[in-house]
Amino acid sequence: MNGLALLDVAPLPGVAGIDRHIAELEQAAAHHRSLSESGRGAQLLAAGNSGPASDALDAHLAEANVADHLADRFSRTAGALRVTRGVLVWVEGMLVGLGALALAVAVHPELLAKLRTMAAKLVHRLREITARIGAIMRGMSKTLTKRRVDRVAARFHDEWRAGRRLPDGTYEPRMKTTTDQAWIKKHGTDQVDIANTRYRHLPADWQLENRESARIGVQLVDEARASGVDVHSPEFMEQSSSVVHDKWLGRNGEWASTEQKLPYNLLSEPEKQKDRDVIRMVLQLWW
């Protein structure tokens, strides 16, 4: 029996997984920082130009600003993990030391009891640290997932309005009423031209449908990949598209057309393609 067993302490976790997370976060920070820096020079051109080219440049710079934010977020998270790793190693070292001491005093039960009490406190601290690491990684995962959902949703919106593009680079207007009070207060109206408004500037209620479709698509692809499913197979495309259709009906069934209310396998090819496009967009952007 070793010292840790005498102290009723389970085998200690290693730090290899934490080191891997730190390395991946630093790599991601460097990547997004390079994306951000690539737009700095172009930013000088944006102020003196207008039209479709400037619109495209503005979209690129928006991505660069997000990349800059993500680079900072990745760096800060990596730093927090380094500090946490240091404390974790210290606690584990203390436990190993207590284990060695426990072997030496095993013949003195009264001392062993005191060492077990000390070990229990350290184990509690160890659990707090590992919980903190888990919280950090869950928070980062949520941030990345939200970012991916927003990018897919924005692409949906751009593809929809592409068919309304006019020769001057603007879009055939499509006026809608919003109930987003914050947006109304900012713009002084409840009327929004959704065709000539980029996704990130839309009111919340007119972002909702695209965001929900994107969220479902990202979730389906992520879960499939985690299970080892080939997300590029025709089988996955049809299965996941069927789920996308069912979820869409759950949100929009009250006003859906007769055909749209049919099960996925009975839909026309154009209607099926709308559901497939959700999965296609996720795969195009990341996988």
Give residue-wise pLDDT tens across range 19-56.
887 888 788 778 767 766 665 555 555 444 444 444 55
pLDDT value at position 166?
Answer: 95
Q: What is the mean pLDDT of the chain?
A: 82
Per the listing, tokens 């603007």 go with 170
pLDDT beyond 90 at 216: yes
Answer whether 0.75 is exceeded by the pTM.
no
Token duo for residue 92: 């584990």
Locus of tokens 């009111």:
203
Give percent above pLDDT 90 in the chain. Answer: 45
269: its two tokens: 């090819």
DSSP state of 261: T
Q: At 67, is the pLDDT very low, low, confident or very high (cuts 50, 70, 90)?
A: low
Residue spans per domain, the chain? 1-151
Confidence bin at 209 (pLDDT 50/70/90): very high
- CA-wise closest residue to 224 among 236, 242, 238: 236
Q: Which residues pair with 177 in a beta bridge?
A: 191
d(CA 225, CA 62): 29
The one-letter code for the residue type at 251 is R
Region of 253 on the Ramachandran plot (φ > 0 left; ψ -120 to 50 alpha; else beta): alpha
- pLDDT tier at 106 (50, 70, 90 boundaries)? low
DSSP letter, residue 210: H
What whole-number distance in Å separates Cα of residue 219 and Cα of residue 242? 14
DSSP assignment string, 237-259: HHHHHHHHHHHHHHHHTTT--TT
Residue 61 has pLDDT above 60, yes or no: no
Helical residues (DSSP H) of 39-175, grouped into ranges:
40-46, 52-104, 109-162
Question: Who contacts 239 (Cβ-Cβ below 8 Å, separation ≥6)?
Answer: none
**pLDDT confidence band for 214 (50 / 70 / 90):** very high
Q: Is the pLDDT of residue 279 over 80?
A: yes
What digits encode the pLDDT tens for the residues 223-274? 998 899 999 999 999 999 999 999 999 999 999 999 999 999 999 999 999 9
The residue with greater pLDDT, 274 or 98, is 274
Q: Average the pLDDT over 131-156 and give the result.
A: 81
